[in-house]
Amino acid sequence: MNRRYLCVRCWREQPLEMLYYVCPECQQSERKLPTWVRSLEPGTGRPVSSLRRPWWRRPFVEPLDLACPRHPAAELRLFCPPPCGAPITRAAELDRRGTLAVGFAGPTSAGKTLFTLAAVRRLRGSRVGGQKVSLLGLGDTEERFGTLESALFADCARPKPTSESASGVDGTMNFAWEVTVSEDGTSHRRRDALIAISDLAGETWGTPSHEPDELLDRYLDHVGGVVFLVDGASMADDLGLKSSDAWDSEPRAGDSGIQDRQWLRWLVDRLGKRVQRVDLALTVSKGDLLWADQEWSGLETLANEGVVSSAEGEAADTDSLRRALDASGRGDLAAIAETQFRRTDLFIASSLGFRPGEEDIDEAERLRRPPEPRHVEAPVLWLLAQRVRGLT
């Protein structure tokens, strides 16, 4: 009786007995509205009338026999209760595996939507230590995410800001996948996690904690990991490097990390006590702007090596990245994160993989060649490794 399901639209956990259902055969009749799912006596299709009795007088009913009283053989369709009403698949059940909700936070100019699209694309089919990570979307995740992914990698078009392209509510894009880990050379496969991503508009992450945001708080209740993006263009400007390219001719100017620290402050405050159970992947975006310079070329080597912690449990050497953060006025970001969050690690990545020149942009302001993401999956793999047994 403890079966619970996650609604990806409203981020509520719903017990099975509180879901709505539609019986396909009943739907053909005049009755159009879904009815409540009720606990039914096994093999009878009749409601368990003793549910209102004191718990010590209730019969033990396990497993739950979920069936339409009129058509017990029909495959029921489940829905989140009103006012949400979103469809819920059986794969969204939570009691058999953990849920890792991953947030992508950071200032509005850090490139969160681009990074999210590139990270999930590279995460699918990635290999770590002889193990392959596979994703299968829940509900219409594959279709909705695929539309956005194709716009970037097939059409080479710049993603719209989240608040403009959102397919969820209040400027969000919600997606969820089952994560399957398979070991090379064996037939052993297991479903290890349910990964849920909400691509929130930057303004949403920047909402002060004293301002209520019911949807955001419900999502944060599920968050086990956050990729906090530090805007590499602003960081490059502070380091005296060229921070613009033909696709982004007006990047955010350097500010010695003022916005990065403010967004981290808002994130910590919004999480409240939950911050102690959240892992943080502090990630410098647009890394190609930094490692193109000879002084910081070692950052690309770090990115190549720092996919996840090694099998011996030793994290990749991040001294060069800490030095770059210090030199740009952002050194305290790592120190603060390490004292606030459950675990913290540092990463650097590039969603495009190259700095677009004039020759790379057409008349419609699209790329003439598709993005070649570099190391964008590393922060998410690290977050998964903290939760998924054996993924090292």
Angle at the Cα of 270 from the Cα atoms of 266 and 273, rounded to 5 degrees: 125
- Between these two residues, 72 and 351, which has the higher pLDDT value? 351
* Spatial distance between the Cα atoms of 251 and 290, rounded to a whole number of angstroms: 14
For the segment 62-81, what is each residue's pLDDT rounded down to a tens digit?
Answer: 444 566 767 777 777 888 88
Question: Which residues are CB-contacts of 76 (< 8 A; sequence separation ≥ 6)?
Answer: 21, 22, 23, 37, 66, 67, 68
The single residue listed with the structure tokens 């906090």 is: 228
Write the pLDDT tens digit of every residue in 141-164.
Answer: 898 899 999 999 999 998 876 543
| CA–CA distance, 327 with 264 (Å, rounded to integer) | 19
Whole-structure pTM value: 0.81
- pLDDT confidence of 201, banded at 50, 70, 90? low
Model confidence pLDDT, tens digit, residues 228-246: 999 999 999 999 999 888 8
pLDDT band at 346 (very low <50, low <70, confident <90, very high): very high
Helix axes 141-153, 112-123, angle to 10 degrees: 110
103 in helix, strand or coil?
strand
- The strand ranges marked E within 257-370 are 279-284, 343-348
Contact in structure between 178 and 96 (CB atoms under 8 Å): no
Give the pLDDT of residue 173. 74
C-alpha triplet 135, 139, 142: angle, nearest 5° = 50
Q: Kindly give, in sequence order, each residue whose CB lies less than 8 Å from that of residue 332, ignoring residues fewer than 6 positions away.
A: 257, 261
How many CA within 13 A on the CB side of residue 308?
22
* CA atoms of 110 and 114, how far apart (whole Å): 9
In which band, very low, low, confident or very high, does the pLDDT at 4 lie, cut at 50, 70 and 90? Answer: confident
Q: How far apart are CA 6 and CA 92, in angstroms?
A: 6
Q: What is the mean pLDDT of residues 270-282?
A: 92
Mean pLDDT lowest among 199-203, 213-217, 298-302:
199-203
Please give the average per-residue pLDDT across 280-291, as a whole number: 94
Q: What is the pLDDT of residues 89-134, one digit of tens each?
A: 877 877 555 667 888 888 888 888 899 999 999 998 888 777 888 8
Does residue 55 surpass a pLDDT of 50?
Answer: no
Cα–Cα distance, 382 to 281 (Å, whole number): 8
Q: Which CATH class is domain 98-385?
A: alpha beta
Domain borders along the chain are 4-92, 98-385
Going by pLDDT thresholds of 50, 70 and 90, the confidence category of residue 28 is low
Q: What is the mean pLDDT of the chain?
A: 78
> Maximum Cα–Cα distance for the chain, whole Å?
77
What is the strand order of the sheet 279-284 is part of? Answer: 127-128, 131-137, 172-183, 189-200, 98-105, 223-230, 279-284, 343-348
Query: In one letter, which amino acid is 289?
Result: L
Predicted confidence (pLDDT) at residue 216 exceeds the cutoff of 90: no
